[in-house]
Chains A and B, each alone.
Chain A
Amino acid sequence: MRRGFRFWGLVPAWVLMLGTLLIPLMIVAIVSVAQRGAYGGFEWAFTLEPYRQILFSVGWTDELEFDPKYLFVIGRTLVLAGATTLICMMLALPVAYVIATRTPRMKTVLIYLVTLPFWVSMIVRVYAWLIILGNDGFVGRIWHALGGQGTLLFTPGAMLVGMVYSYIPLMVLPVFAAIEKLDPALLEAGGDLYASRWTTARRVILPLTWPGLAAGSILVFVPALGTVLEPMLLGGGKQMMMGTLIQTQFGSARNWPFGAAIALVLMVMVVIVLVLNARRAMRKEARS
């Protein structure tokens, strides 16, 4: 009976995985090697053309040339996602530490506050920054009062602010969980052994909260790779990111196979990050 349940009980999970993850993924993979349709869509004919297009395209001179423009888009997206992750990490550590050292009652309240933005639609949250950073907004006014020129909006900085704001709860929560498990006695021991506060943070807190930071990094980095809203609304859309590039291919470019190929490349990158991370964690485990 138990055995039966162990199998049947998991069926919904398998169905969900198969129906909503594996099958759609296979469709994307198939489309990425199909012939593009003249007006969008695709035709059943095998070609590696979409992948070739990532590296080589026909230039203005009518010659097939190595064209790194999509590599730049990929690189730019990686840099943006990486920067977002790093800033989130630096901000989340002290925040999570402060929360973890409050009274239980206060902790609940603070954690609730951290998750509060998730109750509001993503678009509304990004629009809020549009208003805050705008010329008539709170930050915009301060900027002008301090003698700043032009607008703060439509800059890489504005985009980064929006990204960090959107994703930081995903970093705070796992880091908080890791810090909470930290034994205060270890910190006291550090102090007793004449470690400065900085050394304690570096040699005791950081290594022990590393699993939380790693988990948080994945949670931030992966969605940041596919982000569309912040670069468009706050960054002014002057430079393409992978999210916008994929959207363009399925939209006005009417080149679904190329869009699918780029999407797969994005996913392979995500998987590489995850595998590297998992291997690192395994090695760490083996060592301890």
Chain B
Amino acid sequence: MKTKLTLGVAISTLLAMPAFAEGTLNLYTWSDSIAPELIKKFEESTGTTVNIDGFNSNEDALTKLQAGSSGYDVVTPSQHFVKIMIDQGLLENIDAKDMAAFAQVDDKWKNQWWDPDSNYSIPLAYGTAGYTVNRDEYSGPVDSWKAYFEPDESMKGKIASLASPDEVIGAAELYLGVPFCTEDKAEMKKVYDLLMAQKPYVAAYSSDNIENRVGSGEVAMHFWWDGNSLKTRLDGANIEYAMPKEGLVGWLDSFVVPKGASNVAAAKEFINFMSQEENATIQYNYYAHSSPVKIDVSKAKYTPENAPELFPTVPMEFSRACSPAAQDLITKVWTDLLQ
């Protein structure tokens, strides 16, 4: 009897746990993407405890939400995954358009195709994916994707790509003039042929440790993101972020709240907090990616003069949410490539 009682107490204590968790906010963001200074400031001003988990690909974030009861209150996926998550009913309608944060958003990012009524998402950062060259290793032109996808002989084993197809295939499509998410097999075969011809020049398909690989000259060219390239250059690496005339692959990450989040109020409070001009500026200076919300330009660390990476002079084409048939073709290109 006594054991039963103890067990009962233990179980009810366990069940009561969430009640103690009232004052916590669980974030699931791109790794190291939120300024630690702001997390501290938010915790101090609201008394909420903030926990952060990081993800390294949109697919990871989506998979986690699909698996159900992730326990997260705020997630920061990119535009095409926001669309998929909305369509799949994975997100909480937070009436984003009525939030204080929404007033801070630049008009051109409002009511976009991924969230046409601005019910679910508040943008946080945007930028581009392209390629970076190490100027000690490569002195040729970088005004086209040609230098990267159809390199000259000297680049054998000196090029690196990413470990996942998402943006790499998008870039190859831009170069070839193939529309994103095409279901046309003949078009995707062209993409496959291009990447296959590039493979002998590729040293690694890896999304980790890019700073070192291209910064140290281990490879001469690397598929990469604008802000990361910028930060590494400012740290002293002799690198340049290319501006290919065919265009760069654009992305925009937004704050969203997963369905069933336990602390929606705190989540919205956090999103509003992050979008205040002062905090958005701190975030911009930390993350080094463009800000879709108003920032204090006089305090901004990155300007068109010292950070051309963030102010592209070429078109920007956003990745889209592909149909299953189109996605299968992308997967086929990628698995056939890595044989």
Q: Which chain B positions have C-beta within 8 A of A135?
A: 216-218
Please measure, in the bound complex, the distance between the C-alpha atom of A154 and the C-alpha atom of B200, giving whole angstroms. Answer: 12
Do A253 and B331 form a contact, CB below 8 Å, given A39-B88, A151-B157, A237-B163?
Answer: yes
Q: Are B206 and A237 in touch, CB under 8 angstroms?
A: yes
Which of B33-41, B56-64, B100-108, B236-244 lies on the face that meets chain A?
Answer: B56-64
Q: Are B335 and A154 in touch, CB under 8 angstroms?
A: no
The 8 Å CB contact of A252, one of B206, B218, B321, B330, is B330
Q: Are A238 and B208 in touch, CB under 8 angstroms?
A: no
Interface assignment of A78: CB less than 8 Å from any CB of chain B: no
Q: Among residues 132 to 163 in chain A, which have CB atoms less than 8 Å away from a CB atom of chain B?
A: 134-136, 150-151, 153-154
The proximity string for B residues 228-241 relative to A, scoring 1 for CB distances below 8 Å and 0 otherwise, is 00000000000000
Please measure, in the bound complex, the distance between the C-alpha atom of A69 and the C-alpha atom of B334, giving whole angstroms. Answer: 12
Q: Are A232 and B216 in touch, CB under 8 angstroms?
A: no
Interface assignment of B205: CB less than 8 Å from any CB of chain A: yes
Please measure, in the bound complex, the distance between the C-alpha atom of A18 and the C-alpha atom of B204, giving whole angstroms. Answer: 41
Q: Are B338 and A232 in touch, CB under 8 angstroms?
A: no
Do A232 and B208 form a contact, CB below 8 Å, given A245-B335, A251-B57, A252-B334?
Answer: yes
Residue in A72, A127, A233, A238 whose Cβ sees the most chain B Cβ within 10 Å: A238
Do A39 and B87 form a contact, CB below 8 Å, given A60-B185, A236-B206?
Answer: yes
Q: Are B66 and A41 in touch, CB under 8 angstroms?
A: yes
Interface assignment of A250: CB less than 8 Å from any CB of chain B: yes
Please measure, in the bound complex, the distance between the C-alpha atom of A232 and the C-alpha atom of B205, giving whole angstroms. Answer: 8
Do A238 and B335 form a contact, CB below 8 Å, given A39-B84, A233-B208, A251-B63?
Answer: no
Closest to B219 in A: A151
Interface assignment of B304: CB less than 8 Å from any CB of chain A: no
How far apart are A277's CB and chain B's nearest CB, in angstroms?
Answer: 31
Q: Among residues 77 to 125 in chain A, which have CB atoms less than 8 Å away from a CB atom of chain B?
A: none
Interface assignment of B261: CB less than 8 Å from any CB of chain A: no
The proximity string for A residues 224-256 relative to B, scoring 1 for CB distances below 8 Å and 0 otherwise, is 000000001100111110001100101111110
Q: Are B339 and A233 in touch, CB under 8 angstroms?
A: no
Closest to B333 in A: A60
The 8 Å CB contact of B206, one of A40, A150, A232, A239, is A232
Closest to B338 in A: A240
Do A134 and B216 form a contact, CB below 8 Å, given A233-B208, A251-B60?
Answer: yes
The 8 Å CB contact of A250, one of B63, B330, B332, is B63
Interface assignment of B301: CB less than 8 Å from any CB of chain A: no
Q: Are B324 and A239 in touch, CB under 8 angstroms?
A: no
Please measure, in the bound complex, the distance between the C-alpha atom of A60 and the C-alpha atom of B166, giving whole angstroms. Answer: 20
Q: Are B208 and A252 in touch, CB under 8 angstroms?
A: no
Q: Which chain A positions have C-beta within 8 A of B335?
A: 69, 240, 245, 248, 253
Q: Which chain A positions have C-beta within 8 A of B192?
A: 60
Q: Which chain A positions have C-beta within 8 A of B259?
A: none
Q: Are A240 and B339 in touch, CB under 8 angstroms?
A: yes
Please measure, in the bound complex, the distance between the C-alpha atom of A38 and the C-alpha atom of B203, giving whole angstroms. Answer: 34
Please measure, in the bound complex, the distance between the C-alpha atom of A30 and the C-alpha atom of B199, giving whole angstroms. Answer: 37
Please measure, in the bound complex, the distance between the C-alpha atom of A19 and the C-alpha atom of B92, giving whole angstroms. Answer: 30
Q: Which chain A positions have C-beta within 8 A of B208?
A: 232-233
Please measure, in the bound complex, the distance between the C-alpha atom of A245 and the C-alpha atom of B166, giving whole angstroms. Answer: 15
Please measure, in the bound complex, the distance between the C-alpha atom of A238 and the C-alpha atom of B206, giving whole angstroms. Answer: 9
Q: Among residues 31 to 54 in chain A, which have CB atoms less than 8 Å away from a CB atom of chain B?
A: 36-41
Interface assignment of A192: CB less than 8 Å from any CB of chain B: no
Q: Are B189 and A251 in touch, CB under 8 angstroms?
A: no
How far apart are A263's CB and chain B's nearest CB, in angstroms?
Answer: 14
Interface assignment of B336: CB less than 8 Å from any CB of chain A: yes
Q: Among residues 305 to 339 in chain B, which have CB atoms less than 8 Å away from a CB atom of chain A?
A: 321, 323-324, 327-328, 330-332, 334-336, 338-339
Please measure, in the bound complex, the distance between the C-alpha atom of A134 and the C-alpha atom of B336, giving whole angstroms. Answer: 28
Closest to B85 in A: A39
Please measure, in the bound complex, the distance between the C-alpha atom of A252 and the C-alpha atom of B63, giving whole angstroms. Answer: 10
Please measure, in the bound complex, the distance between the C-alpha atom of A144 and the C-alpha atom of B338, giving whole angstroms. Answer: 29
Do A127 and B206 form a contact, CB below 8 Å, given A39-B62, A39-B88, A238-B338?
Answer: no
The 8 Å CB contact of A238, one of B88, B204, B324, B328, is B204
Interface assignment of A173: CB less than 8 Å from any CB of chain B: no
The 8 Å CB contact of B218, one of A62, A134, A232, A255, is A134
Do A252 and B338 form a contact, CB below 8 Å, given A151-B218, A153-B218, A236-B203?
Answer: no
Please measure, in the bound complex, the distance between the C-alpha atom of A38 and the C-alpha atom of B83, giving whole angstroms. Answer: 13
Q: Which chain A positions have C-beta within 8 A of B57?
A: 251-252
Residue in A135, A136, A154, A240 whose Cβ sees the most chain B Cβ within 10 Å: A154
Q: Are A40 and B209 in touch, CB under 8 angstroms?
A: no
Q: Which chain A positions have C-beta within 8 A of B202?
A: 236, 238
Interface assignment of B164: CB less than 8 Å from any CB of chain A: yes
How far apart are A105's CB and chain B's nearest CB, in angstroms?
Answer: 41
The 8 Å CB contact of B157, one of A72, A150, A251, A255, is A150
Q: Are B205 and A255 in touch, CB under 8 angstroms?
A: no
Q: Are A38 and B324 in touch, CB under 8 angstroms?
A: yes
Please measure, in the bound complex, the distance between the C-alpha atom of A134 and the C-alpha atom of B335, giving whole angstroms. Answer: 27
How far apart are B335's CB and chain A's nearest CB, in angstroms?
Answer: 7
How far apart are B134's CB and chain A's nearest CB, in angstroms?
Answer: 12
How far apart are B62's CB and chain A's nearest CB, in angstroms?
Answer: 6
Instruction: Give me 6 other A-B pairs in contact (C-beta within 8 A), A60-B185, A251-B63 excluded.
Output: A40-B63, A60-B189, A154-B203, A233-B208, A248-B335, A251-B59
Sample of 28 A–B contacts (CB below 8 Å): A37-B66, A38-B323, A39-B88, A40-B59, A40-B63, A41-B66, A62-B185, A69-B335, A69-B339, A130-B212, A134-B218, A151-B203, A232-B163, A236-B203, A236-B204, A236-B205, A237-B205, A237-B206, A238-B205, A240-B338, A245-B335, A248-B334, A252-B164, A253-B327, A254-B59, A254-B324, A254-B327, A255-B328
Ordered nearest first, which 6 A-B pairs have the shortest CB separation? Answer: A236-B204, A251-B59, A237-B205, A253-B331, A240-B338, A154-B204
